[in-house]
Structure 1
């Protein structure tokens, strides 16, 4: 029954997000000569700050927001709000074309920051064009200065032609060749589109610049600009089904694969070492303990017990803040299930390159559908710990992860609105997310909580708990919570940190990550290492006669999330060119939420591993 349910769930998700094949206005992607092929322009912004940046000129505005008159600002209503910008660009529409058509986008595309409108270029199917004039205007000194600022910040543009991505830079910076090496700023006036087709379908497109038509915008002076473009069609034998493969080739280059495999080998060695370390504990130390305790039971009991058997009457004493612990375990179980489903979709090919917004759509919908798992896991465990106020526990479970995420979103979305960035969600999208939470997430959470309450499962403790707890002896500094969290978090982090670079470069940069099979192997290694190191530290804690292992095991496993957040600081200052208040707030704000979810998920894994271990060792001895 469980396998059948899993198969149906996977099939439903595949139908929901679609199999490889992109939807466009021309749904079958088949055209005749002279047919209009949809070209949408998306966003313009600084290359090194693709999400958001501080200065208004640096924000990756929606393409329509940059439509301006050469001589005066044009106000355009985009996504129910009036926006304006004084940045002039030839890859935007000319001043006379003030009415644009917006493409209807899915939820995930909007969450991804895509704002597509129809482009000004005419790239009809198999129709060559030579030196087509887009517009011709005179730039004022102010506009020249703004162009120069955009060129200096490596402004790039992004378009989609028949759902194939293309991008380029608006200009370049060069040294003038003189002894002082003064910088000169040039604006591209002409773009050449090269389109490849196979029979009646578009296969590939690229855009190139003409170096012979550069416009010098170094000096603040009035100049005349003439924006041109040309189109050349070429035939190719590449089938339509393989037209997206070239976008994933960068991740599959030999030197990249070598680094990925080095990461896996490094992680595997870590796993083997930890496995051997744990095997030594279980086979030697525990065996000696079992022999010792068996011998003590047969001899005259004139000696006091020591070690982990000594605290058998306290080790299953319910922890403090058990409602919070149950809520953490419920949320962590949901996030673990969410991660597994995301990997399933990735491995079957749903998240192919430039499937815009598919990942965000999957995250929102799967999180909503798995909220019942959080309610069931939290309430069931809370009732096992003899909790009575399960309704409050359910509310805590529902808000434990969503609450901080909602507060962070409100702050960052306000910042994005102030900067007129595409990262600001429209009001309609926010309403849709709220409705999903109210009509799907909350009801499923309540149903899961009711099912967990009615499960009437009892906590399986092999030993009876004494009425009064024993006093914990004074422990060495390295046996305290914080040092053990550092030890427990460092080893799992060392197993994944190489792969983190590629993930960060994909999420916060322009790289494309496609090797999900390797990432899945790394994820499995991470789970194993986290569980092993937590079990080892739990044994040492119990051997030191410290019976408060419940929260310690959760914190030790979740501490890997703190190391990942520490890596964010290193990545921001050492490996990226991100800067400014908006980019900084988005990077550290959303990464804090991701690492928090990481903390809950790995903490849940480590706790359950420690619980199984503790139950096993105390079940193996005779306790009075």
Structure 2
């Protein structure tokens, strides 16, 4: 259930976000119930238009063919000045451009017909209107923080549900010419559903809004009275066609014949204009079954109906994870312990027979007390340390035991792996925090833009964790310039993100799309990085490098590295990573369908089954850890001790399969057209997959690090 409330924990976040201008002034959506008296003015906000066929969004108030806000002071908008309102960071980044409209709504007062304005549109504005209608754009309006919705019923007609937004127009094909005709919806019927306010407000006769429905239709510009209204709102035969020809009404002609006449009356003048009148109706209806706390439920009926599919996804993920768990259990309980037992028995047998080589050095000699290799010598005498590799049977000293002196060797490109792991830890902290707050109901759809705003705050605050892990790993790999490593860690992912977004903005700005991030917001994000995140990363690096120090290893690396034998095809880096990535992808595949539908198909962004997502995410992390353990164990058994970077690739390779699925989803499911929209789609998907890969790759590396330290030394990971 998507309850429209905010838990007390959200107040802390509200204070933080307010300091960075991330919350609306003096009002946090969903924090308090807004009740209205009869006759009290209800402000209507216009936001943006978006389409399933393109990734470009536009501010509704900036369209050249709609009624522009008058910028006058509006009653009921509190401290809002004119038409402009403060947006939080998340709203700006998601393309919201909310303005106060001139639609006049009074609680409980029905209005059958009201005239708003008439907009004179030139040829350029007309072409823009045709593009908006042709691309299937949907408008988003807001009343009492509820998006205007189109109402539908389920297939069995048992339940009603909402689809956010309403169509800007529609397209028809002329029966006589076969050419498309475009009609603009210039009249809206607004249905405000209300419920008695809870508590004392209800006793005083106040009401709360629990539903906002918008029904749009097209009405011709002719046959209107002096006030700009048609004579009968219920009997409107012709729509407003987007054409420069004079709208001719001839009751003796068919609609297509009238269209042919209209087309013939266009004089072709460059300065020709068309006048578009806008009207609206308002109706207030009581809704007894829906209360204010559950008013968002109608937006999620489809997600609730698909709960069986979600449970199937969970069962599928649990089965895959269970199989992996069994394999890991076999590795720990039988293979490794069996190897150690054979290794120990062989060593004791050789000692009993007196086959010793005084000058030789056993590989066990380099192990510290407490390790699994050291346990082999636990019952032997001091002379057992002189047992050499040659004194033991060849079948007992193969595989992962042979590389014990090289397994903790400093990996190539370790100075790059450390900041990558640090950035991954920062993203993991952010993702877990967002998921937890969403499951607790702190982040809900009523907190518009809250998911992105809180995500940015968590990412910035997680800079301390990023610097800490990066510095410790960097020192473990023998690094000495921790200040340089701190700067690289703080710049790596934010730099990649900022550069990508900036390049995309160069294109989106040219399209005058609200998807473009304003220049001031970019400077604000840069300030967050420079004055908050960078110092936090530096502080975490200082503590991790100088105070916590390097991770201890149970075995010292030998002076001369072993030669790595040729690897089988399944153990080579690329093949092993691709095979390992299939398993986590199979775990999240079904849930990805719902996430993609919410983000790319519906464009509403109202994905809210976070309980299912939390379960699948938990199974995903377990699967990534187990797949990495299996992959690293196979690699060590093939006497390849370069497991550091490979473990990161094993954990993060599922992002490659997710990106491949993005390509499939784009070509087979979506109806996006145009180079710009395709560029935005793949850029955003690429960034999302990079985030996913960094996070899961970091989980894989840390898991492999703990696994290797455990089997070679039994030392608990700090």
Q: TM-score scaled by structure 2?
A: 0.76
2:315 match: 265
2:245 match: 221
Across the aligned residues of Structure 1 and Structure 2, the Cα RMSD in angstroms comes to 2.9
Equivalent-residue separation in structure 2 for 1:544 and 1:23 (angstroms): 58
Query: How far did 1:248 drift?
Result: 2.6
Q: Secondary structure at the match of 2:555?
A: coil
Deviations 1:443-471 (A, max 9, x none): 11111111112224343322232110010
Identify if the C-alpha distance between structure 1 residues 600 and 220 changes in structure 2 by more than 3 Å, giving closer, same or farther.
same
1:140-155 equivalences in 2 (<5 Å) = 146-155=128-137
1:134 match: 116
Identify if the C-alpha distance between structure 1 residues 192 and 458 changes in structure 2 by more than 3 Å, giving closer, same or farther.
closer
Equivalent-residue separation in structure 1 for 2:621 and 2:93 (angstroms): 29
Query: How far did 1:168 drift?
Result: 0.9
Equivalent-residue separation in structure 1 for 2:9 and 2:642 (angstroms): 39
Query: How far did 1:378 drift?
Result: 0.7
- Structure 2, unaligned stretches of length 5 or more? 1-6, 74-80, 149-164, 196-205, 219-234, 248-274, 356-390
1:577 match: 671
1:195-594 equivalences in 2 (<5 Å) = 195-198=192-195, 199-210=206-217, 212-213=235-236, 214-215=238-239, 217=241, 221-223=245-247, 225-237=276-288, 238-253=290-305, 256-298=306-348, 299=350, 300=355, 301=391, 303-304=393-394, 305-510=397-602, 511=604, 512-594=606-688
Equivalent-residue separation in structure 2 for 1:514 and 1:26 (angstroms): 18
Query: How far did 1:292 drift?
Result: 2.1
Query: How far did 1:160 drift?
Result: 0.6
1:609 match: 703
Of the three residues 190, 193, 210, the one matched with 2:187 is 190
Query: How far did 1:175 drift?
Result: 4.6
Equivalent-residue separation in structure 1 for 2:556 and 2:337 (angstroms): 23
Deviations 1:178-214 (A, max 9, x none): 7x86644333232111111223322211011347534
Q: TM-score scaled by structure 1?
A: 0.86
Query: How far did 1:278 drift?
Result: 1.8
Largest Rg, 1 or 2: 2
2:89 match: 107
Equivalent-residue separation in structure 2 for 1:33 and 1:155 (angstroms): 34
Q: Secondary structure at the match of 2:105?
A: coil
Query: How far did 1:491 drift?
Result: 0.7
2:37 match: 32
Deviations 1:32-72 (A, max 9, x none): 222221111011243432x41xxxxxxx3212211x4xxxx
Equivalent-residue separation in structure 2 for 1:202 and 1:431 (angstroms): 38
Do 1:14 and 1:345's aligned partners in 2 also have CA atoms closer than 8 Å? no
Equivalent-residue separation in structure 1 for 2:524 and 2:324 (angstroms): 46
Do 2:70 and 2:102's aligned partners in 1 also have CA atoms closer than 8 Å? no
Identify if the C-alpha distance between structure 1 residues 11 and 43 changes in structure 2 by more than 3 Å, giving closer, same or farther.
closer
Q: Secondary structure at the match of 1:215?
A: coil
Query: How far did 1:574 drift?
Result: 1.3
Do 1:94 and 1:135's aligned partners in 2 also have CA atoms closer than 8 Å? no
Deviates more, 1:534-543 or 1:576-585: 576-585
Aligned pair count reads 581
Do 1:191 and 1:209's aligned partners in 2 also have CA atoms closer than 8 Å? yes
Identify if the C-alpha distance between structure 1 residues 515 and 327 changes in structure 2 by more than 3 Å, giving closer, same or farther.
same
Identify if the C-alpha distance between structure 1 residues 10 and 465 changes in structure 2 by more than 3 Å, giving closer, same or farther.
farther
Do 1:165 and 1:354's aligned partners in 2 also have CA atoms closer than 8 Å? no
Q: Secondary structure at the match of 2:106?
A: coil
Identify if the C-alpha distance between structure 1 residues 155 and 278 changes in structure 2 by more than 3 Å, giving closer, same or farther.
same
Deviations 1:561-600 (A, max 9, x none): 2221222111111111122232222221122222112111
